[in-house]
Amino acid sequence: MTSRREFMTKGAISAALGLSTLSSYGQGLETALQRTPQSSAPSDLKITDIKCGFIRNGHSLFVKIYTNQGIHGCGEGVDATPGTYHLVKMMGQRIKGKSPLNVHRLFEDVRRAGFFEGAQAGMYIAVLSAVESALWDLAGKALGMPVYQLLGGKFRDKIRVYCDTGAYRTTETGPAAFAESAKAAVKMGFNAVKYDIDERNDPNKYDVYNWTANNMELERMYNQIAAVRAAVGPRIDICVDMHGRYDTTTGKRVAKMMEPLKLLFLEEPFPAENPEAYKIVRDSTQTPICAGENHYLAHGFRKLLELGAVDIIMPDLQKAGGLGEGQRIANLANLYYVPFAPHMVASYLGAMASSHVCASVPNFLILEWQIYFHEEPMFKEIVTFDGPMVKDGYIPLSEKPGIGVEINEEGMRKYAPAGVPFFE
């Protein structure tokens, strides 16, 4: 047992050492204090306003939530967002004056308030996804923690991505062009690539409205992906997307003929709103079947999982309900031992937000990455961030408080659609 006298003696020595240290490093401590934001306790944090801006003709929504302490949060929604400026402002009124730290509660408040306004799917949930993500970003900044920490911690430090090569957007979509783009992606450091094989303008089509692919279309699809496999070898993963533009018959045939090419997954050969049809295709092939980019909330994935209709789920976290809902979807899938591979067509803000969720769940497989990050200057101008966007086929997970990526309003302004209020 330490006597009171010994305790006091040791305390005096410690104090003397502390004074010595402060005298040596006082200038550094003073500088650190000056640089530290001085705000009231997090419990006093309140939402004061919400503003938004759009790019891509309204298909990309960015929101900014402001507080009484000068801290703000950024979030992003995609696809189902054109014309939603007033929906953003309405949701802002529903959370104004409340603490942004109660993320789940605010999400549920806004969702329940919209039961008769479309809060089951579509635009309402896409906008709510942006608002919810901004709340996580704000909470992380207020508490000095990255979002993954608020979600319960991380299983991994970097997030594996597949590169959507965008080869379908070029004028030349033959097997040789697909092969060259695959080799270019691998040279950039990616160990997984994705190709779209649904060509709406395929001259072999007999009927643009009939969703059954004919033998010539099927041959074109196979030759394109076979060329990719030959170009990259057996160790690079290949994902194939059909954008829901075909039918069950075509889905079964494509999945079966792709088996020798050992795909990582075949994505949405037909619309995914019919889980029973997906069950038929999944049971007919060894090619993993993936779906879910147009599903909303965890409710949207329940039947797919219960029926065993898919091998992999791919919610888009910028429209399925946000980061907390994304984690719930992943955890639901984990109960069925189904991997989680989010769809991602957002900016780097959305990519990093998705990465925090991917880090926080055990069943993460891979995240989508777009070649436009490398080809279009806009995607570097509209955000600010530290370090490289992607390195050797992985997104380095941000350790900064919040999401770790900021909106650059001035960089975004020139891409904003005319006639739509911009962060007003």
Amino acid at 6: E
> Three-state SS for 105?
helix
Angle at 139 between CA 134 and CA 140, to 5 degrees: 100
Query: Is the CB of residue 280 less than 8 Å from the CB of residue 255?
Result: no
Place of tokens 């060259």: 180
For 76, residues 6+ apart whose C-beta sits below 8 A from its C-beta are 60, 61, 62, 63, 130, 133, 318, 346, 347, 349, 350, 353
What would the pLDDT profile of 42-76 be if each residue is shown by its tens digit?
779 999 999 999 999 999 999 999 999 999 999 99
Which fold is adopted by the domain 42-145? Enolase-like; domain 1 (3.30.390)
Domain ranges of the chain: 42-145, 149-400
Is-same-fold flag (42-145; 149-400)?
A: no
Give yes or no for residue 222 having a pLDDT over 70: yes
Cα(340)–Cα(326) distance, integer angstroms: 10
- What are the structure tokens assigned to 320, written together? 């399925």
Q: Residue 370's closest CA among 56, 53, 75, 54?
A: 56
What would the pLDDT profile of 126-158 be if each residue is shown by its tens digit?
999 999 999 999 999 999 999 999 999 999 999
Cα(363)–Cα(203) distance, integer angstroms: 41
**pLDDT band per the 50, 70, 90 thresholds, residue 167:** confident
Give yes or no for residue 176 having a pLDDT over 70: yes
Mean pLDDT for 198-227 is 94
Class of the domain covering 149-400: alpha beta
- Which pLDDT belongs to residue 4? 40
**Distance, C-alpha 309 to centroid of its chain:** 23
Q: How much is the pTM?
A: 0.89
What would the pLDDT profile of 230-264 be if each residue is shown by its tens digit?
999 999 999 999 999 999 999 999 999 999 999 99
Query: Is the CB of residue 334 less than 8 Å from the CB of residue 392?
Result: no
Q: Which residue has the higher pLDDT, 302 or 21?
A: 302
Buried b (16+ CB within 10 A) or exposed e, 261-294: bebbbbbbbbbbeebebbbebbeebebbbbbbbb
Query: Is the CB of residue 72 less than 8 Å from the CB of residue 138?
Result: yes
Cα(14)–Cα(17) distance, integer angstroms: 5
* DSSP annotation string for 313-352: E--BTTTTT-HHHHHHHHHHHHTTT--B--B--S-HHHHH
Mean pLDDT for 375-404 is 97
Mean of pLDDT over the chain: 91
What would the pLDDT profile of 79-107 be if each residue is shown by its tens digit?
999 999 999 999 999 999 999 999 999 99
- Which pLDDT belongs to residue 38? 46
**Distance, C-alpha 96 to centroid of its chain:** 26
Backbone dihedral angles phi then psi of residue 392, each to the nearest 5 degrees: 55, 40
- Other C-beta atoms closer than 10 Å to the C-beta of 33 total 9
